[in-house]
Structures are given as C-alpha cells and as structure tokens.
Structure 1
C-alpha cells in the first residue's frame, strides 16, 4: 500500500466512522491547481477533506486514514445510505473542473488511480457497482468527475461497472417504474430530472439532457441485470450490507 503513496499530507478534517466502508466516491478538485486544492482540503476552516488526492502527474497524497471519516461527499445518498462519508473512501482527482477549464484526465493520473483503487476495493470488499462519482451520490448539487472521466478504463480492470450496449430501446409508459428502478440502482430520485442527468453523465456522457428516453431506459435495465448477477455470484445470495 505505502509504495502507492508518494506524500503524506495530513488533513485535520475528519472524525470517526459510523458505518463500515462499502463504497468509493471519485471527485475532481475543481480548483486552479493541486496546491490550491490541498490547501483547502487541509484547512480546518473549510471543513472539507478526502482520503486521497491524485495530481495530474500521478503524485498520490494521503490526507486522511482509511479508517476515519473524511468530509468529501456532503449531503448525499447511495443505495439507501444517507451518511455517505461514513460508508466511503473519497478520492480527489486534480482537474480544474467545468468552471475553470475542464479537461481530460491525464494517463499518468489514471495509472496512479487504478492500483490505488484496486487496493481499496480489495481491503474493504467493495463491489464495482459501489465505485461512483460525486454526481451519482449528490445529483442535485454536483457534476464531478464529469463527462470526460474514463469510467471504461476502470471497468476494464473490474474496478467499476462497464457501460452496456443495449439490445433494445426500453420506453417506460409510466415514468414511475423507471424511477423505482433508478432508485433501486442507487440514485436519490427526489429530483427526477437531476437523477436522470447524473445517470446520463455516468453512463451516456455524449448526451446529457435530463430527458428519459428509450436508450436511458435500456441502459438502466442492462445495468441492473449485470449488477445483480455479479453480486449474487460474489455473495451467494446473502444479505447485502446496504
């Protein structure tokens, strides 16, 4: 583990967990530089932090120990969990974000993320379906890590759900049925349009319009099938921790 960490940059912004770790939340920093982000994440007055920060050149900082509750997710929800900070490891990826010049995540940054994420998932027995973006757990408030993040790179290593190729278009005559399925998948659907937008940003980034269409419905159907089959295989049908 320690060979993957280049710098210990301790943040004072943490407290004790109230839940076991069952997920990873990926963020972008949305600030001009890595140093600006580190300064904020380590500022007691800011009351924000993460467990790790990865610079664009691949330098990995450890800010908060994994057994502690970092303050990265804010008001959020995933698969029935409302205290996402207690249940998650937070990883910040240095990127200026949509307001300061959003750009692709460099290869060196992704290459540093892959082994770090793999180790976290192995230590905490985290399923690929529970590796999510900040926008997934806070669809009304957040849009990171955004449309340019390469989820498929993680999926190739079994570190995130792959985006399926829908075999059909699935139109929902009753949108309520779609939202029930989307909630079952994990999203907070209190704001339906925001939830659809977050789902699109993650699984269909080429069109992010918040509209329910046949492709979105089919994607969700295929994802639920794939996720549930994988978790049945992993867990033998036992109760899940969420």
Structure 2
C-alpha cells in the first residue's frame, strides 16, 4: 500500500468510524487547482476531508487514515446507510468540475486510481456495486465525479459494475414501480428527478434529463437481476 502513496498530507478533519467499511465513494474536487483543493481539505475551518486525493498527473496524497472517518460525503444515503462517511473510503480526483471547466480525467490520474482502488476493494471486501459516485449517494446535491468519468475502465478491471447492454422495453408497469426499484438498488428517491439524473449520470451519461424512460428502466432491471443472482460482487 505504501508504494501507492506519494505524499502524506494529513488533514485534521476526521473522527471515529461508527460502521465497518463497505463502500468507496469517488469525487472530483471541483476547484481550480490541486493546491487549492488540498488547502481546503486540510483546513480545520472547512470541516471537509477525504482519505485520498489524486492529482491529474497521478500524484497520490493520503489525507486521512482509512481506520478513521473522513468528512467527504456530507448528507448522503446508500442502501439504507445514512452515515456514508462512517461506512466508506473517500477518494478525491483533482478536476475543476462543472463550475470551473469540467474536463476528462487524464490517463495518468486514472492509472493511479486503479491500483489504489483495487487494493482498498480487496482489503475491505467491497462489492463492485458499492464503488459509487458522490452523485449516487447525494443525488439532490452533487454531480461528481460526473458524466466524463470512465466507469467502463474501472469495470474492465472488475472494480465497478459494467454498464448493462439492454434492448428490452421497460419491464416496470409504471414510474412508481421504477422508483421502488431504484430505491431497492440503493438510491435516496426523496427527490425523484434528482435520483433519476444521478442514475443516468452513472449508467447512461449521454442523456441526463431526469426523465424515466424504457432504456433506464431496462438498465435498472438488469442491475437488480444481476444482484439477485450474485453477479454484482
């Protein structure tokens, strides 16, 4: 593990975990530079942090030890867990985000993420379905790491789930059935349109309109079917 970390950059923003680690949450920093992001994540007054930060050139910083609860997810929810900070490892990827000129994540950055994520997932026995976006756990508040993040690359290394390839019509009788299924998959559906946008941003990033349609419904049905048959580990 130590060979994957280039710098120890301790943040004071942590407390004790209340839950075992069962997920990884991926973020973008949404700030104009790595230095600005590190300064904020290590500023006691900011009250935010993450376990790791990866710069665009692949430099990896460890900010908070994994046995501690970093403050990266905020008010969030995933599969019945509302203290996502206690149950997760948070990884920040330096990227200006939608506010400051969102752009693709460089190859060097993704190449540094892959072994770090693989080591975390293996050590904590985290299922691929629980490697999630910040937007997945906080759909009404967050968009990161966003539609340009290469989930397919993670899936190719068995670090995330593959995007379902579907051609069936909607398997759900109505939108209500879809939202019950979306909640069963893990999302907070209190803001239904935001939950659909988060699902689309993760699974169908070329169309993010917050509208339930046959393609989204078929994707969700396929994901749930795979989970029920044990294929999402």
1:61 partner SS: strand
The corresponding residue for 1:42 is 42
The corresponding residue for 1:32 is 32
Gaps of 5+ in 2: none
The corresponding residue for 2:90 is 90
Conserved in 2, the CA contact under 8 Å of 1:29 and 1:95?
yes
Conserved in 2, the CA contact under 8 Å of 1:171 and 1:213?
no
- The alpha carbon displacement at 1:175 in A equals 1.3
Conserved in 1, the CA contact under 8 Å of 2:171 and 2:221?
no
1:230 partner SS: coil
The corresponding residue for 1:64 is 64
- The alpha carbon displacement at 1:148 in A equals 0.1
- The alpha carbon displacement at 1:167 in A equals 2.9
Gaps of 5+ in 1: 235-242
Conserved in 2, the CA contact under 8 Å of 1:95 and 1:102?
yes
Report the Cα distance in structure 2 between the residues aligned to 1:157 and 1:173, rounded to whole angstroms.
35
The corresponding residue for 1:180 is 180
The corresponding residue for 1:199 is 199
Q: Does 2:19 match 1:19?
A: yes
RMSD of aligned Cα (Å)? 1.1
The corresponding residue for 1:159 is 159
- The alpha carbon displacement at 1:190 in A equals 0.7
The corresponding residue for 1:125 is 125
The corresponding residue for 2:146 is 146
Report the Cα distance in structure 2 between the residues aligned to 1:13 and 1:81, rounded to whole angstroms.
21
Conserved in 2, the CA contact under 8 Å of 1:29 and 1:97?
yes
State the 4+ residue runs in structure 1 displaced beyond 4 angstroms: none
Task: Name the TM-score, length of structure 1 as normaliser.
Answer: 0.94
The corresponding residue for 1:238 is none
